[in-house]
Structure 1
């Protein structure tokens, strides 16, 4: 008789996993995935110490994990003594996911049209833990457009795109995210709760999430979320850029109606 399949979600706490109460959870595998996930788009390489600090793991544990991942091709050693970069084996994981996101091809010209209109950057993203990862980016030819790339991580709490996800998420999703933040850091959980409250207020007042100089002091942005169907996760889309060229008034009056219409078009497509 087969064992029942456990329901795994973000509410699983670090304490629960450490005490072994979740007997289906493989701690070593989880730590290995945490090591891979700690690499960010701007990282050329990381030392064992940097990986240890980002993952909250002992350096001795990181050393063993890194050795195993290197043997399997998920990491490569870029210099003697222990700096590591993502290996080619990780490409199969990311490219398979992106290949399933047919909506990116449908969205790209529509996003480019909005980016050109606003003289800004428009990005599509999905949530991973306490961040939004960009899965598609369109930029205007304006020299001031943000230069973020596919794969960039944007914080949930302070960015418009992160707040849009929080506002459009279900109560259960928000509770799971709050639990994840609480397990990591109480101050992060407090900031996240404030972000949820602001996101809900903004949606009620403006019909979108906003971040005016809160993610980065010189960046303004707005964003909306929409639900996907089938195997695709919930999606969020934003429009933002330097505050010197994108005022709050312009974003809300001129860009927001176009961004909302774009999100609805993507949501109603058979690819979402």
Structure 2
């Protein structure tokens, strides 16, 4: 396999790849190069057939010359692989070690799976557990019913914090400082996305007070209904969220709120204590 090697002459933006000048006292240990390398790895999605340096640069908001150095290094280390014919990059086998180590810690999935499957079969929906990754949620466990119509989400799929029930459930349950950090990060990146996130959180607070869960009826996708509950798993230190959803043509809001909601809340309680 041939790896596209970057020029030996570093571009001007290479100077900030060591340690970024502190934005405040808390950031004095922040290593920009490490953060950017992780951003490159995180920009890949399950549906991607491979990404060029230009596509990675656009997703990460980085100069292409910087991305070229990162992809070269990550390929040498096995975290990325490059297709000989297209020159596109994909995730390498070295990333499996990181992912499997994380999933191995999530023993809560084994406890949750039977309860999730039972609820999925009862409701004809898809029941999932997710954790937060920056401004989105990543599914770590998914159980589907045998119904003909179900959501095509899978482990590794991402959901937006603002518009999804599971994202809102996480925001409601997250510690105040973490929410503050999320809002600040979103505000720095995109003013419109920040406003959407604030609106989603405000709605989540109202839903939580009224129903004991969060909702998203046709907001994440026009024809999808869902509810979710945040929880802190037994012996864990990371907030998670569990949701239940399906096509609005077969899963009505009344059914979710009246029949499914008590069962979902009970599962969250059992996973927490």
TM-score > 0.5 by shorter chain: yes
CA contact under 8 A between 2:21 and 2:28: conserved in structure 1?
A: no
Give the equivalent residue in structure 1 for 2:39.
34
Residue 241 of structure 1 pairs with residue 212 of structure 2 = no
Over 3 Å counting, the alpha-carbon distance change for 1:96 and 1:265 in structure 2 is same
Over 3 Å counting, the alpha-carbon distance change for 1:132 and 1:41 in structure 2 is same
Post-superposition offset of 1:75: 0.2
Q: Distance in 1 between matches of 2:74 and 2:41?
A: 9
Post-superposition offset of 1:81: 5.1
Give the equivalent residue in structure 1 for 2:184.
179
Unmatched segments (≥5 aa) in structure 1: 1-16
Give the equivalent residue in structure 2 for 1:94.
99
Q: Distance in 2 between matches of 1:80 and 1:108?
A: 41
Give the equivalent residue in structure 2 for 1:55.
60
Structure of greater Rg: 2
Post-superposition offset of 1:82: 2.8
| Segment of structure 1 superposing worse, 25-34 or 38-47 | 38-47
Give the equivalent residue in structure 1 for 2:9.
none
Residue 199 of structure 1: SS of its match in structure 2? helix
CA contact under 8 A between 1:101 and 1:232: conserved in structure 2?
A: no
Which of 67, 75, 78 pairs up with 1:70?
Answer: 75
Residue 83 of structure 2: SS of its match in structure 1? strand
Give the equivalent residue in structure 2 for 1:202.
207
CA contact under 8 A between 2:108 and 2:234: conserved in structure 1?
A: no
Residue 84 of structure 1 pairs with residue 89 of structure 2 = yes
Aligned pairs, how many?
Answer: 252
Residue 217 of structure 1 pairs with residue 205 of structure 2 = no
Give the equivalent residue in structure 2 for 1:260.
265
CA contact under 8 A between 1:203 and 1:209: conserved in structure 2?
A: yes
Taking only aligned residues, the RMSD between alpha carbons, in angstroms, comes to 1.3
Within-5 A mapping of 1:99-110: 99-110=104-115
Residue 81 of structure 2: SS of its match in structure 1? strand
Residue 150 of structure 1 pairs with residue 155 of structure 2 = yes
Post-superposition offset of 1:229: 5.3
- Report Cα offsets for 1:135-194 as digits up to 9, x if no partner: 100000111111211111110000000011111122212111101101211111111111
CA contact under 8 A between 1:41 and 1:153: conserved in structure 2?
A: no
- Report Cα offsets for 1:50-103 as digits up to 9, x if no partner: 111110001111111000000000000024453100000000000000001111
Q: Distance in 1 between matches of 2:167 and 2:141?
A: 15
| Segment of structure 1 superposing worse, 97-106 or 43-52 | 43-52
Give the equivalent residue in structure 1 for 2:172.
167
Give the equivalent residue in structure 2 for 1:5.
none
